[in-house]
Structure 1
Amino acid sequence: MAENVTLILREHDQERLDKLAEVRKDKAVWEHQRKYEQSKREYRGEDVLKDTGSAVVWWLAKNDDHVEKTVADLGLLAQLTSAANDTDVPDRLLDFLPQPQSNRPDLESVDAPPASFEREPTTADHFEAFLSGMGFTDGDDRRAMLAKQIADIIKTQDRNETAEELLKRFDPPAVYTPVNDATDEAPGL
């Protein structure tokens, strides 16, 4: 039987143990944040943005006093869910989509033949229309933020190509431009 046992650690050993404890705590916080983010993405991707109907029900649950606005935004919700799932907007919802000015029939050219060279809109085009419909114009930081969030959701659905297309178009990497060009400062050149 041992009594009055005292353990003394050297200072550098105590510092090492303190650092290890701090790293374990940081790792636990990081893992918790990561699981929370994954849970949010799963909830949004597999539940909220599963299809347009799910998005409408979710939106109404959050904004039950705005039924008319929800009906008016059906096209935007359809575009958002199609972008999140890397699918085309269902045919039954195409009439709800806001049409770009270039696609609207012009009264003077009603008899003109349709242009056969127009390409099908991409998911990024649909997302662009959604952002514009929400009032997020070019230069608005919310465009990049939403694109990043949607791209993260899309990646969980193994739609990496579409996610990269959204990031490239709406959240491009920053470009480094030097403040002073060394050739401009060289005397006599």
Structure 2
Amino acid sequence: MIEFNWFGIPFNGADICGFDKSPTEEMCIRWMQVGAFYPFCRNHNIWKTPDQDPAAWSPSATAIMASALRIRYTLLPYYYTLFYKAHTQGSTVIRPLFHEYPTDKNTLDIFLQFLIGQNIMLAPVTDNGARQVQAYIPSSDWYDYYTGVRMSPEKQFITLNAPLNTIPIFLRGGAIIPTQEPANNTKYSR
């Protein structure tokens, strides 16, 4: 995903929950949580494999996945702005931390945590059964998306609680992030 952004193809994403295998409910939840932030977000799999869209899982899993998609719908104006800049200026939508912090050597080996534009940072959970995740807080003011609490200390790895219904999301302090009220689909979110 990041590499395609570098190549000038910002509208991309993997098949959420895989294409030809059957993920566990928990891993599909975690995949949907991060996949909701892909530039191209879709849950898609091959014919004659078990359904894996949000409605195919338990009611609690469906609710968690829907929550992640509501965050995406809230951020659609931000994504629109990023895609416009990618089109007119050749910038990226998704980028690694070292793209924004090139002199911070700690960011060079971080592959799972990433930025959406300059102002939103995700630290996805990728391990089955994990309820915590290691995240690096670069040298900027970063705030927890859910609580508004400032993350500290800067330039250090920290362990974050990440219950199954949460994906660690951070907003850069001082940034203007356009949002909208979410609805059941993108048409009604406008």
Where on the TM-score scale, by shorter chain, does this alignment land: which range? under 0.3
Q: Return the TM-score normalized by structure 2.
A: 0.25
Going by fraction, where is strand more abundant, 1 or 2? 2
Going by fraction, where is helix more abundant, 1 or 2? 1
